[in-house]
Chains A and B, each alone.
Chain A
Amino acid sequence: MSPEQILFYFFAALTLISAFLVVTMQNLVRSIFLFFVTIFSLAAMFVFALADFIAVTQVVIYVGGVLVLMLFAFMLSNRELLSGLQAVQTGFKMSHFAGLMISLGFLFLLYMAIASTDIVNLPWIKESQQISPGDNTVHQIGINTMTRYLLPFEVVSVFLLMALIGAAHLARKEKRS
């Protein structure tokens, strides 16, 4: 195996193991910190797919934003609420049945989709231009965002502005009547 392949499988294994531990771990804070490992190894997978911009954006948004927010929410919430969340649940209950069915169905759907497509011969992959590791992908992403995908881009920006104004409104002190 080439060193690249070894690295790829290493990060793939790291993603799966850490993601599994995030879900099963009893200690909530440790599981949030482990989520950081998951996100980081996922970013490494994006690098192997030559999507360096997505990899870095993933780190910026999830590590710099979402994870810090989760930690803050955790550290500022009250202890009784958290002990309820951390309590050990053992045994199979009827309420778990629906979740199990949904996840099994989703797994089946994913498997069917992957098994039924001929990935190498997909028309949109054949028609698209190839990129090589040294290419400046940011340049192409910028041009495409401002031309072909301008409308979605603007819709997202308006949506984010709405969220921002909403957050500012919620955080404002109410006038005493």
Chain B
Amino acid sequence: MNFYLTYVLVATALFAFTALFTLFALYSERKISAFIQDRLGPMEVGKYGSLQAFADILKMLQKEFIIPSAADKILFTLAPIVIFVSVYLGFAALPWAPDVIPSSLNLGIFYIFAILSMETIGILMAGWGSNNKYALLGSMRSVAQMVSYEIPAAIALISAVMISQSLNMQEISIKQGILSPERILFLGVWDVKAIGGFLAWSIFQAPHLIIAYVIYFIASLAECNRAPFDIPEAESELVAGFHVEYSGLRFAFIFLAEYSMMFLVGMIGVILFLGGWNSPVPNIGSIKLAAWTTGIGWGIFWIVVKTLIVVAVQIWIRWTLPRLRVDQLMSFCWKVLTPLAFLCMLISGVWRLTMMS
């Protein structure tokens, strides 16, 4: 019975983490955007507005559930749950530290990609269920964008998987640091297994993965529906896109899904390309920095810090770049990202056969 209790505890902990992260990200997004636009941002609630996110959540909890009279009630009610659960399930296969992983699946990254594709169904449910033309248009745009950008993202991930030779996220992480059972070649020539640190990360094992990471990062922005790829919610055209009719706790769930998705895609990128929970500092001679900073506590620390940096870059990009037009968005995906991703995959194959054999 303990066995099942652990499952419930792990799931609850993950949910608590996503909720806390959303609160934190909400506040930091406001503050970063304020900094970029040269304003102060929230300042009233608490010191430097630090309680603003809690105040917002309290406000949302008190709100009434409004279901439009012409809406499809079942679909409208279920949609936020489907959207959130699909993102939340993705966390099941992500490793946090050596030996700390909710479920060490052999299919790892493939499973996460499959589960994330469920989100499109939830978005279409929300769009159709609302019975609102803006919501429907927003959801159609969102799905078209997510389905197209899945392709370069997946191919870029495959090129990283070809270097690490495993779909299991934990094995991929292990192969990028001092705990690796095999030798690690920095740029394919210098054995850095004993040195570790950032030299052992995937992007430095095979330098073309830097391009693959940039492709993945851009495509993951589009999958989160974030600016500059936020045409599904384009405020000036569609009011708020697919979640225009939602209020209160249901809206909070859609919001939670969006921010958890940011963390999730950031974390996938960190695990596959940026060394996962491995420490960025290398061993230098007798100063064993990498060995000292590897362990369960350090692992969680490093992966959270790395992912938060990636999330900060996502926020920074959102408040810096203007929105793309639909045709620009599609031609960028199909004519630039997809061929480049295929090129990366080809180089990965050649690299694996020539430099790493």
Interface residues of A (CB under 8 A from B): 3, 29-30, 33, 36, 52-53, 56-57, 59-60, 63-64, 67-68, 71-72, 75, 134-139
Contacts and interface: CB of A to CB of B under 8 A. Distances in A.
A59 B115 CA distance: 7
Given A52-B105, A52-B106, 17 more contacts: A3-B4, A30-B74, A33-B121, A53-B107, A56-B114, A64-B117, A64-B118, A67-B121, A68-B124, A68-B143, A72-B140, A75-B136, A75-B140, A135-B106, A136-B106, A137-B106, A138-B106
B125 A33 contact: yes
Contacts of B105: 52
A56 B117 contact: no
B167 A29 contact: no
Interface string B100-115: 0000011100110111
Nearest to B120: A68
A68 B72 contact: no
A56 B124 contact: no
B135 to A, nearest CB: 12
A29 B139 CA distance: 15
Nearest to B79: A33
Given A33-B121, A59-B118, A68 B147 contact: yes
Ranked nearest first, the 6 interchain pairs of A and B with the lowest CB-CB distance are A64-B117, A59-B114, A60-B114, A136-B106, A56-B114, A56-B111
A139 B166 CA distance: 9
A63 B147 CA distance: 11
Contact of A29 (B106, B128, B143): B128
25 contacts: A29-B75, A30-B75, A33-B75, A33-B121, A52-B105, A53-B110, A56-B110, A56-B111, A56-B114, A57-B114, A59-B114, A64-B114, A67-B121, A68-B120, A68-B121, A68-B124, A71-B124, A71-B128, A75-B128, A135-B106, A136-B106, A137-B106, A138-B110, A138-B167, A139-B106
B150 interface: yes
A111 B271 CA distance: 49
Contacts of B120: 64, 68
A52 B124 contact: no
Nearest to A57: B114
A136 B170 CA distance: 14
